[in-house]
Amino acid sequence: MLSLQTLLSFSDQLNDAEHQEMIAKRIAVDQYASQLLVRLDFVKKMPRLEAPDVFDPEVQPNVNLVAEYLDHQLQNPELIRHYEKSCFESDQLLAEIGCCYEILNHRLSIPINPPKNCRHRLYYIPIQDKTAEQTA
């Protein structure tokens, strides 16, 4: 079975042509993966699908887990399987991870050209004096 990250990168066409073709062949023979790709495309475009409530402590997985997963920093294979299973079972989570993945990869591929004076302005942002705040 293909991982969710593999399906996301395939969906966004982020792989080289050879790897993309290899994944396409595997998807063609794996009915579950092909259905999941169709579902992923569908849930990402659902206008009335609400995002998970990130401030609810009962919501699992939490935003840090999602960030680690998207950044390929999640090292525990059991946790990865559990997270992917949660995404496969929930339209909300599947749409969230699909949209976040798409946004991050498209945004990170665009070079950022800040204005030349931006660095100077950022270095000289006034820092409030903590002692002045405490006496007020």
Quick: pLDDT tens for 54-108: 777 766 677 788 889 988 898 899 999 988 998 888 898 899 899 888 888 877 7
The pLDDT value recorded for residue 133 is 55
**Residue 89 neighbours by CB under 8 Å, 6+ apart:** none
The C-alpha atoms of residue 25 and residue 32 are separated, in whole angstroms, by: 13
* Cα 118 versus chain centre, distance: 28
- For residue 52, pLDDT beyond 60: yes
Computed from CA positions of residues 29, 35, 36, 37, in that sequence, does the dihedral angle turn out positive or negative?
A: positive
The C-alpha atoms of residue 105 and residue 50 are separated, in whole angstroms, by: 22
